[in-house]
Amino acid sequence: MAAQKSKSAITVKGSAEIVVEYLDFGINSILFQRGLYPPEDFKTVENYGLPIYMSQNNKIKEFLSSTFCQLKEWLVKRLVDKIALIVTSVKTREVMERWDFNVQYEGDIDNPNQTSDKPLKQIQNEIRDVLKQIASSVAYLPLLDCLCSFDIQIYTKNDIELPPEWGDAQPADIKNAQFVRLRSFSTNIHKMETVVTYKSED
């Protein structure tokens, strides 16, 4: 019985991995769906039963992987409050759009050996639903009609050691903003909530 339970259990580390994997697919999907980069730079990857467009640009891949590597560590230590994808106009430096991925810690927060027995299949179904919503967000989000770049900001607790090559960032808020809350998913350790904030047209 105990052996079986440990087989399907998700550790904190495993949960962080699931979250980061979701962020990787989610952010790549946003970069494609919002037309930030030429569609030729993307390749489809089948995951969660969905074709997902992943960037093949080496610099973007490198940026994402090093960000996520650090993020995973902080997620395990429960230091992260929020991950934000900021889309800014290259010309005016104006924030055009932001995607907030809010992290909540569930269950026995103080226990580092916490496990969750939520079936992986169920979590993946939840993630799939969020990714579907991201893909369909094109229907209501305004067109990003200028050259845009993106950045990832991680909102952490105050008592954190700053690793090399990381720095403090300015909060990027949008004037006259509107936001849409997408579905959330949970591993019973990390709960991820996705919110997109965009500039209202008028």
Asked if 34 touches other proteins (CB under 8 A), the answer is yes
Question: Using CB under 8 A, which of the segments 3-11, 16-24, 118-126, 143-151 binds other proteins?
Answer: 143-151
Q: From 119, 109, 108, select the one nearest 187 (Cα to Cα).
A: 119
- Closer to other proteins at the Cβ: 85 or 127? 85
Write b or e for each residue in 7-34: b if 16 or more Cβ atoms lie within 10 A of its Cβ, otherwise e. Answer: eeebbbebbbbbbbbbbbbbbbbbbbeb
Collect all residues with Cβ–Cβ distance below 8 Å to 82 and sequence separation of at least 6: 100, 101, 102, 103, 154, 155
- Closer to other proteins at the Cβ: 129 or 151? 151
- Closer to other proteins at the Cβ: 116 or 190? 190
Asked if 201 touches other proteins (CB under 8 A), the answer is no
Distance, in Å, from the CA atom of 99 to the CA atom of 30, rounded to the nearest integer, reads: 9
Angle among Cα 24, 133, 95 to the nearest 5 degrees reads 65
Asked if 152 touches other proteins (CB under 8 A), the answer is yes
Q: How far is the CB of 82 from other proteins (least distance, A)?
A: 7
Whether the Cβ atoms of residue 51 and residue 43 lie closer than 8 Å to each other: no
Binding positions for other proteins, 2-31, rule CB under 8 A: none
Q: How far is the CB of 116 from other proteins (least distance, A)?
A: 23
Asked if 185 touches other proteins (CB under 8 A), the answer is no
Asked if 180 touches other proteins (CB under 8 A), the answer is no
Residue 93 to residues 14, 67, 79, 177, 200, Cα–Cα distance (Å): 37, 22, 29, 16, 17
- Closer to other proteins at the Cβ: 76 or 127? 76
Asked if 105 touches other proteins (CB under 8 A), the answer is no
Q: How far is the CB of 52 from other proteins (least distance, A)?
A: 17
Residue 158: both structure tokens together: 């105050």
- Tell which one of 13, 47, 50, 63 touches other proteins (CB under 8 A): 63
Q: From 187, 178, 161, 148, select the one nearest 21 (Cα to Cα).
A: 187
Q: List residues near other proteins by CB under 8 A.
A: 33-39, 57, 59-60, 62-64, 66-67, 70, 81-82, 90, 138, 142-145, 147-158, 160, 162, 165-171
